[in-house]
Structure formats: C-alpha cells, structure tokens
Amino acid sequence: MTIESSLPPPTAAAVAADLSALGDGELVERTRRGDAAAADLLARRCRQPAYLLALQLLRDPDDALDVAQDALLRLFTHLDRLQRGRPVRPWLYAIVRNRARDLMRHRGRRPRAALAADDPEGGVVLVDDSPGPEDAARRHELQVRVWHALGELSETQREILVLRDYQDLSYEEIAGVLRVPLGTVMSRLHRARRALRERLENAAGGPFHE
C-alpha cells in the first residue's frame, strides 16, 4: 500500500478550496473534461455578473433573472466553442447582451427607468460608505441622476456605457462583445458620454459637474 492510497479522500471543502485558486480558463478546461465541481464553481462565478449586466440593460429584476439564467445555459451548452485562452466574461457578456436585445425587441419596449439606483436586490448599490454623510448624500444623488439618465439613452448608447463604465471592460473586450471595430467602440463611447452629459445638464438646468 502506498502512502497516497492510505490517505483519506479529500473533503468537498478541500476540493472547493483547491478549485477557488484556479482562473476561469482552467475551470473551463476542467468543465469540458466533465469535472462537476469545476462546472459548479464556474457557474457561481458567472451568475452574478450575468445578472447585473442584464439588470443594467433591462432595468427589471425579473427579466434580468430570466436573461441571466438563459445566458448561463447557453454558455455551458456551447462551452466547446470558446477558444482556448479567450476570457470567459466578455463571451458571457455577449450572450447576455444578445438575449437582452432579443427580449426588448420581442416585447417592443424600452427598458424600465423606474428601478431604484440603490436597490439592493439589483446589486446596483452606488453609494460609497467611506465619505462623510454630506459627501455620501451628494454622491448618491449624482449616481441616481446618472442611473435614470442612462434609461433615456438609446439601446446602443446605454449598452456601451454599461460595458465600459459599470462592467469595466477594455475597449478590445467591448469590441469583441459588440462585434464591431475598435474605432467604432471609441466613437460610440464618445457619443454616448456626450449624450449622457446633455441629459444630465438638461435635467439640472445647467452645466453638469461631477
């Protein structure tokens, strides 16, 4: 009997701890090989980002949950199509974005604008607790105004601002999600930020200052 064979099998907690140190790419490879624990961890890593992006695009928690679940199902169903070495999250965001657009077109509507900017259910808590009360209140008011102004933008403008300023994707990653050239990303982002500023200034009745 070898030393290894005499050792007790690793616990589920130990396996989870070992997997948690792995990057998304390695989890994808293990999932492709049939590793159920790796697939579960990959799903848990992707679930919240998918939901938050869907919520920011649709502004409806129920619709966002449906889109996120559908996107995760599609991600795992077509996981073999993901090129090795390619980041998982931009590919996931592309699926979420396409499913959100399909839903809006099917229902023939714009996203809701009434979702509260500090709704804990939506995970869009925009208040920074570190400043003093006055600074926190001012920041909260600003973020609420920005959140509502986003709902007034076109679908194209809103999604590129969400991908860049909320999801923090690089220009190259956004180009991959939207399937447009890098120059198009830059020009769309410039126009979207200008449109957002104009709406904020119109709402405030004067120049907008962050």
CATH number for the domain spanning 87: value is 1.10.1740.10
Confidence bin at 127 (pLDDT 50/70/90): very low
pLDDT value, residue 19: 80
d(CA 186, CA 114): 29
Q: What is the maximal distance between C-alpha atoms in the chain?
A: 81
Structural domain span for residue 79 = 14-111
pLDDT attached to residue 120: 38
Residue 147 falls inside a structural domain:
no
Is residue 83 a part of any domain in this protein? yes
Q: Is residue 40 part of a domain?
A: yes
| pLDDT cut 70: percent of the chain above it | 73
Whole-number average pLDDT of the chain = 80
Total count of domains within the chain: 1
202 has pLDDT over 70: yes
Look-up of token digits 């120049």: 207
Instruction: Find out whether 172 and 182 touch, Cβ atoms under 8 Å.
Output: yes
Residue in the structure block whose two tokens are 């990653």: 173
Instruction: At 70, list the tokens.
Output: 């559908």
User: Taken in order 32, 33, 36, 42, is the CA torsion positive or negative?
Assistant: negative
- Model confidence at 201, in pLDDT bands (50, 70, 90)? confident
Q: How far apart are CA 16 and CA 40, in angstroms?
A: 10
Residue 34 domain-assigned (yes or no): yes
**Which residues have CB under 8 Å from 163's CB, separation 6+?**
53, 93, 97, 169, 173, 174, 177, 178
Residue 49 pLDDT > 50, yes or no?
yes
201, HSE (Cβ side, Cα atoms, 13 Å): 10
What pLDDT digit, counting tens, does each position of 154-180 carry? 889 999 999 998 888 999 999 999 999
Residue 151: pLDDT band with limits 50, 70, 90: confident
Span of 11-15, 44-48, 94-98 with lowest mean pLDDT: 11-15
Q: What is the pLDDT of residue 161?
A: 92
Does 137 score more than 60 pLDDT?
Answer: yes
Query: How does residue 182 score in pLDDT terms, banded at 50, 70 and 90?
Result: very high
pLDDT digits (tens, 9 = 90+) for 76-122: 999 988 888 888 999 999 999 999 999 988 877 555 554 444 443 44
* Residue 25 is assigned to a structural domain of this protein: yes
Which of residues 145 and 98 earns the better pLDDT score? 98
Question: pLDDT band for position 40 (50/70/90)?
Answer: very high
